[in-house]
Amino acid sequence: MSFTCLAAAFSPLGDLAGRLLPQAFAADDGSHDAAHLIRVWKSARRIQAEEGGDLRLLAAAVLLHDCVAVEKNSPLRRQASRLAAEKAAGLLAAEGWSEADIAAVAHAILTHSFSADIPPETLEAKILQDADRLDAIGMVGAARCFYIAGRMGSGLYDPLDPLAEHRPLDDKAFAIDHFEVKLFRLADGFRTKAGARMAKARTERLRAIRDMLLDEI
């Protein structure tokens, strides 16, 4: 699919998306691809419709929040959002954006990451963080979790103790452990009321998915 076709999904900022998308994601990572950006944009739009915020800044932040690809198991993982923020600043400078707007987008990108653990200070940054984390829970979140586990060479679950009742949780070894280590906890940290409401519903779905898996095994 061409970048022109993909850009239409970012209406009403399709022109901006068309220029930024070629630098926006890694083509070989199905968990941080164009589909991920579109889903995050849709969630961001839903939150922004209730909470407010500058849509242009938000669009640029969504489009570029994963513009530097760093694998989950890389020692540079904690620096991924900083590297993306720096690259985004350069791309937006080339677009002729003001220093203030570039700084606002860079801040949103820097603070969106769970690994970075930096609190977002602006509304746009809070919306981006919430929208990105919504994509880690629910049905899509489960699918991404299992996809990443396969990419990292992890197993789905411990066949002898899937719930880790008699062993330490280890989400590097078993995908299902990641639900308890991180995914079930995400809803408690949402920054907007709209995002928190959506996160609660998706977490309930995530628990149902875990329960269905346990029932089948």
Phi and psi based region of residue 164 (left: phi greater than 0; alpha: psi -120 to 50; beta: remaining)? left
Nearest to 68 by CA among 55, 82, 54, 56: 82
Nearest to 92 by CA among 79, 106, 72, 76: 106
Residues forming beta bridges with residue 155, ordered by sequence position: 174
Give pLDDT < 70 ranges for the chain.
Answer: 1, 27, 72-77
* pLDDT digit string, tens, across residues 102-147: 999 999 999 998 878 899 999 999 999 999 999 999 999 999 999 9
Give the H/E segment covering residue 50: helix 34-51
Map out the domains of the chain with their CATH numbers.
1-131 (1.10.3210.50), 136-217 (1.20.58.1910)
DSSP designation for 84: H
Instruction: Determine the 3-state secondary structure of 58 from DSSP.
Output: helix
pLDDT for 27? 65
Give the whole-angstrom CA distance, residue 127 versus residue 142.
22
Residue 48, φ and ψ in degrees, nearest 5: -60, -35
pLDDT for 74? 66
Two tokens at 88? 């985004």
Give the whole-angstrom CA distance, residue 180 versus residue 178.
5
